[in-house]
Structure 1
Amino acid sequence: MGAVPYDTYARQLGQLVTEASSGRWERLADDVHAALNGQAASQLRSLVPRQVRRETGSFFTTGPVRNSFEHLLPPVPAQADAPTYWDPTCGAGDLLLAATAKLPLAATPARSLALWNRRLRGHDLQESYVTAARMRLVLALLERHRLAGSDEPLAADRVAGALPLLQVGDGLQQLHSLGRPARFGGSLLLNPPYGMAEAGPACTWSSGSTSLAATFTAAAAAALRDGSRLTAVLPDVLRSGSRYRAWREQLTGLLDVHEVKPHGMFDIHTDVDVFLLSAVRRRGGPVRSFSWWPEPEAAEGQTLNDLFEVRVGPVVDNRDPRTGPEAPYLTARDLPAGGEMGLPQRTRNYPKRLIAPPFVVLRRTSRPGQGSKGASRGAGVLVVGDRPVAVDNHLIVASPRAAGVDRCRALLKVLEQPEIALWLDERIRCRHLTVTAVRDLPWNGTDHLASMSSPPPHAKAQ
């Protein structure tokens, strides 16, 4: 079925363009404003079933995330030629709409359209989305001319032939087809599908099932000509997840990353945290160092990893055999919100590694801004007792390298601080904490916490 039901809305946009291009604005201004600001996404949710949207990766970039994206696009100097903007997964054209705010207007709508015809390029697998994108871009042009006082009519034949570089096609194939010397020399815009697919045989940074967003972004970086720009909206797991370390290394080998901006949830209807990326294809020379997240700010450089061995609980309950000695078995559902607990009542036979108390556990499943059972994000629980424990792999275990239970209690105090939750939200906004992120937590007992949120002494009010 694809996105065929969206044809209905695409036809409505075509009718709106017909009326606006004839100059009948007295009853159209509100309709045009809605078409350019969120209506395309709301119609998508109304007309296309959620499962189809997921299968096709159809989540349009609207609202605050589109505004943030537009602010990342650099202005075009008056004396410079306008760049070509290409969105290989254009959907209904929201990223291209953001880019048109940077394009100049000519004296008339027809002349502006002639410029935009050469400067706007897009691909999408769904024909109805491409049609909607064309119509919305023409509406944006007419709206800007109306506000500028140059709203003469636009001939029907001009509308019919508008934006010929927006085409139905596979954007990933288009990116892969570009190679020396035919790389793309403009500004590449990207909000790719966020689903999973098998990595291709030529992929050097992943294998097996991997993020389509990562695959698209790697292809986009490789397709750029030196000095050309990539601006993207991407799932935060690519920025902060341990699995995508090699992907990040590949990107920084190809691109000079100018900005990585955590955004939060994509929108109120899409429970995925995203970040915005602004980068330019390197012209050569040494690779510029770049951190994808805030570096630990710890006194004397200490992090949690200096004082604790941090690892994921070893038990995969639905896969590991129930053989070997019977041991207390710790799962996330048996944890209190925080504090201390004794040995769990639940038991399990487990033939592999058991973990001796005392240790602190953190839940791996942890969304930004909140924890479980009313606790703060990253809250820990101290486990004490006289028997080794089988720990489920939905938990992260921090075992003290020295000082035993006292060091564990100091860690609980560190993890309770709101500064730590804020640090974690900046460091990793995907749905699972990683061992790497927990190891990087800044540490200097409890003495360092005040310095994380307070100005230096010379900056305090007198």
Structure 2
Amino acid sequence: MKAFTPYLSHLEELLVASVCLPANKIRQQQVKAALDGQPSAELRKRVSLDRLRAAGAFFTGSRMAQRAVVAAGLPRLKTVARVFDPACGVGDLLVAFVNHLSCASDLESTLSHWSSRVIALDVHPEFVRATKLRLALAGVVRHPLVKPFQLRDFDLLFPSVAVGSSLVEERSYKEASHILVNPPFTLVHAPEECCWGEGKVNSAALFMDACAANAEVGTQLMAILPDVLRSGSRYEKWRKSFEQSVAIKKIEIMGRFDRHTDVDVFVVVGQVRKKPNDKRGIPWTPDKKTGGKRISDKFEVSVGAVVSYRDPHSGPWYPFVQARDLPSWQAVTQIAHNRRFEGKTVIPPFVVVRRTSRPEDRNRAVATLVRGKRHIAVENHLLVLRPKDKTLRTCEHLLKLLHEQRTNELLNRRIRCRHLTVSALGDLPWRDE
């Protein structure tokens, strides 16, 4: 992240001027910008989007950080608490945290006090330096009438904020009473010892595993995580594994991470357990065991079997249902395309729902009723709902239920990642006509 270095020079000059020169409105506005989203904007200008994605370098932002700190209850911390950020980036979460700490009589004493309260690691030296400078600037905001003092060395600021990987360094975890983290969301290869997944997995889950494994018993933990960890079926095993070591105290949906990042996030708050156990804390998603019938009681729910780019064009010819060909909220009998397929087909009547779905969409579960008598091949971008009573009337009633605003609200509480799952649809409540 060498391209970020010129911006560090700006922060250094701003800090020196703030502690050595009389205050003025222009500099105060510059300090405010440096603490409120400017680092993220500067990074996007200087580093390509592909590289940012590869590094997982998307900063929390001041508003999201403040919401997360409040959700975690950090403003009520005792004075002896020490907070560790294992992936600090440019320090947004720590800046939000120190804004709730008390100040000493002068800036130098305040920075010394705050320094004893925060620990942080990041693999990028440029980000670590930005964190130190921004924490100092946060102190400047709290001390508008600064008595000049000599900044002997920027690196001496906040010595416990350092370059390193929290995935391999364990000591910092032992020194913290609280962990505050917004880890990278990049896909990485699961390590051999991973007990809950294989192939490519979200690195945020691995960060949380490291927190749970290395922190002392009783350590309080707050993390901003991608919604797929909360609601994705692929991470069900991870959730069960994580709960073995961490008692979940709070889950709060936060919405979209920022306007530049197409991912929804949530905050999880928990406490490291004394020993692994199966006792459940707060549920990750709204509890589905509330009584009453579910869609899964009336329908067999599955993913379409055809993977177009992978499955060979061999075997019998079938009508082929694709998401791009289907009208929304209508019934179809004539299918525009056919293809050869040797796998599982579906006999009408049935309902298909587009898997791709976003929280801001007008309808989360966009459906089409498929009629007819021939076996039909269905692509895997569609969820298939086959009525257990095999009747057209049940399918028609399902379309009405899926089209209701209540369904959108239920799904938005249940799952905010970009693909609907079999369980998310199947667990929706069923209401008879």
Common fold: TM-score over 0.5: yes
Query: Aligned partners of 1:332 and 1:154: how far apart in 2?
Result: 66
Cα shift at 1:410: 0.7
Query: Is it true that 1:379 corresponds to 2:366 in the alignment?
Result: yes
Alignment match of 2:419 (pick from 432, 435, 442): 432
Alignment match of 1:407 (pick from 369, 384, 394): 394
3-state secondary structure, aligned to 2:152: helix
Query: Is it true that 1:229 corresponds to 2:220 in the alignment?
Result: yes
Cα shift at 1:406: 0.7
**Corresponding letter in the other structure for 1:256:** A
Alignment match of 1:392 (pick from 356, 367, 379): 379
Query: Aligned partners of 1:9 and 1:400: how far apart in 2?
Result: 60
Number of residue-to-residue matches in the alignment? 431
**Corresponding letter in the other structure for 1:152:** K
**Corresponding letter in the other structure for 2:13:** Q
Note closer, same or farther for the CA distance 1:267–1:108 as it changes in structure 2 (3 Å cut).
same
The question of whether the paired residues in 2 share the 8 Å contact of 1:411 and 1:445 is answered with no
Runs of 5+ consecutive residues of structure 1 not aligned to the other structure:
447-462
- Matched residue, 1:452: none
Deviations 1:44-86 (A, max 9, x none): 11111212211111101114322211212324668x4332111
Query: Aligned partners of 2:205 and 2:334: how far apart in 1?
Result: 42
- Matched residue, 1:161: 156
The question of whether the paired residues in 2 share the 8 Å contact of 1:227 and 1:281 is answered with yes
Identity in percent: 35
3-state secondary structure, aligned to 1:30: helix
- Matched residue, 2:129: 131
Note closer, same or farther for the CA distance 1:248–1:297 as it changes in structure 2 (3 Å cut).
closer
C-alpha root-mean-square deviation of aligned residues, in Å? 1.9
Alignment match of 2:179 (pick from 154, 174, 188): 188
Pairs within 5 Å for 1:295-334: 295-296=287-288, 300-334=291-325
The question of whether the paired residues in 2 share the 8 Å contact of 1:297 and 1:442 is answered with no
Query: Aligned partners of 1:249 and 1:160: how far apart in 2?
Result: 41
**Corresponding letter in the other structure for 2:36:** N
Alignment match of 1:258 (pick from 246, 249, 256): 249
Alignment match of 2:285 (pick from 293, 314, 332): 293
**Corresponding letter in the other structure for 1:397:** V
The question of whether the paired residues in 2 share the 8 Å contact of 1:369 and 1:421 is answered with no
Query: Aligned partners of 1:153 and 1:160: how far apart in 2?
Result: 19
TM-score, reference length from structure 2: 0.95
TM-score, reference length from structure 1: 0.89
Deviations 1:341-363 (A, max 9, x none): 11412001111211000000000
Pairs within 5 Å for 1:85-104: 85-104=83-102
Cα shift at 1:10: 0.6
Query: Is it true that 1:277 corresponds to 2:276 in the alignment?
Result: no
The question of whether the paired residues in 2 share the 8 Å contact of 1:312 and 1:397 is answered with yes
Query: Is it true that 1:9 corresponds to 2:7 in the alignment?
Result: yes
The question of whether the paired residues in 2 share the 8 Å contact of 1:184 and 1:223 is answered with no
- Matched residue, 1:209: 200
Deviations 1:374-417 (A, max 9, x none): xx210211100010100001100000001511100110110010
- Matched residue, 2:33: 34
Cα shift at 1:138: 0.3
3-state secondary structure, aligned to 2:185: coil
- Matched residue, 1:244: 235
The question of whether the paired residues in 1 share the 8 Å contact of 2:251 and 2:282 is answered with no
Query: Aligned partners of 1:433 and 1:159: how far apart in 2?
Result: 48
Query: Aligned partners of 1:58 and 1:250: how far apart in 2?
Result: 27
The question of whether the paired residues in 1 share the 8 Å contact of 2:85 and 2:180 is answered with yes
Cα shift at 1:209: 1.0
Cα shift at 1:279: 1.2
Note closer, same or farther for the CA distance 1:282–1:258 as it changes in structure 2 (3 Å cut).
same
Query: Aligned partners of 2:168 and 2:100: how far apart in 1?
Result: 28
Runs of 5+ consecutive residues of structure 2 not aligned to the other structure:
none
